Chain A
Amino acid sequence: MDVSSVRLEDRLARESPGGGQVDPSPMFGTWHNTDKKTGGIVRMALAERNGTFIVHAWAAGSPDLHDWGEVAATAHAANVHSGEGMAFSAVYDFGFVESILAAYTKSGILVLDTFNTFKDGSGRSNYFTREFFHR
């Protein structure tokens, strides 16, 4: 099949692709940060809600955690043929800061990167985090 591509991995090596649908369920569950003293995301719940793949995050706070609520996420597979979800991306926009979540799973661990952009003129640097989670 002749399809557009911008790198070799984009190309279809056979005629039966995954149909463009990725099953996120292998990632479902509650994921806990391996660092109990994190100042970032403490835990995440990945699930399906009314047919939509959602992430629900809770972040470090005092005295209570910050409940970020649910947002829709996009599941990614390991290649163009696979239908099995092993990574995701999602966006939280809190108004004063936007956090882009980019995560993948490997060997039972979920690795989460966050890219955090302040929009409130507070002078804080936009910052990156990388944290590890287990179910």
Chain B
Amino acid sequence: MPLQISRTRDAIEGPRPVRPVDLALLAGTWVNFDAASTGVHHLEIEDRDGQLILRTWGTGAPEPQSWGEVVAEPFTDGVALHEAVAFRADYDFGFARVMLACYLNKRLLVVDAYTVFQDGSGRSPYFQRDHFYVP
């Protein structure tokens, strides 16, 4: 039975990739390039038995604010590939939900945050981008 596809890129030929995907490129502590950022301060990514564990800190004064730990979903660059180059994670703080949509560009980690407020404060849903490196 042929596999279902939603677009040409979904098609696969040959053997299936090894599971779980390799998280090595993503693992580590990632620090924001912009010391004056008002967004995400830094992230810690851990390979825990094949699961991508994400800990995030937002900017704050006087200290960064811990967002806690979530299980993130890793993504490769194609259906037949084994190496994770991107991930997605959801944080629900009650007053707001944040989707982190992240990918590697060379050895730069790009983090796009899509925030929606749920507290009636009148704040607009907003998009924010930050760039990170491993020191």
Question: CB within 8 Å of B: which residues of A?
Answer: 1, 3-10, 12, 17-22, 39-41, 59-62, 66, 68, 74-83, 86-87, 89, 92, 94-97, 99-100, 102, 104, 113, 115-118, 120, 122-130
CB–CB B101/A20 < 8 A: no
List 11 extra interface pairs beyond A3-B121, A7-B59, A66-B5, CB under 8 A: A6-B98, A8-B58, A62-B8, A76-B114, A82-B126, A102-B112, A104-B127, A122-B3, A123-B17, A124-B3, A129-B9
Chain A interface helix/strand/loop/mixed: loop
Contact B127 A87 (CB under 8 A): yes
Interfacial chain A residues near B17, Cβ < 8 Å: 123-125
Q: Does B43 contact A (CB under 8 A)?
A: no
CB < 8 Å: which of A1, A60, A74, A81 contacts B9? A60
By CB atoms of chain A within 10 A, which of B3, B19, B81 has the most? B3
B33 at the interface (CB under 8 A from A): no
Does B67 have its Cβ within 8 Å of any Cβ on chain A?
yes
Number of A-B residue pairs at CB separation under 8 A:
196
B112 to chain A: closest residue by CB: A102
For window 1-41 of B, CB contacts with A under 8 Å fall at 3-10, 12, 16-17, 19, 21, 38-41
Q: When the two chains form the complex, which single residue of A3, A74, A120 contacts B119, counting CB atoms closer than 8 Å? A: A3
For the complex, count residues of B whose C-beta is within 8 A of A: 61
B74 and A124 within 8 A (CB): no
> Are B103 and A130 within 8 A (Cβ)?
yes
Contacts of B79 in A (CB 8 A): 118, 124-125, 127
Are the CB atoms of B115 and A74 closer together than 8 Å?
Answer: no
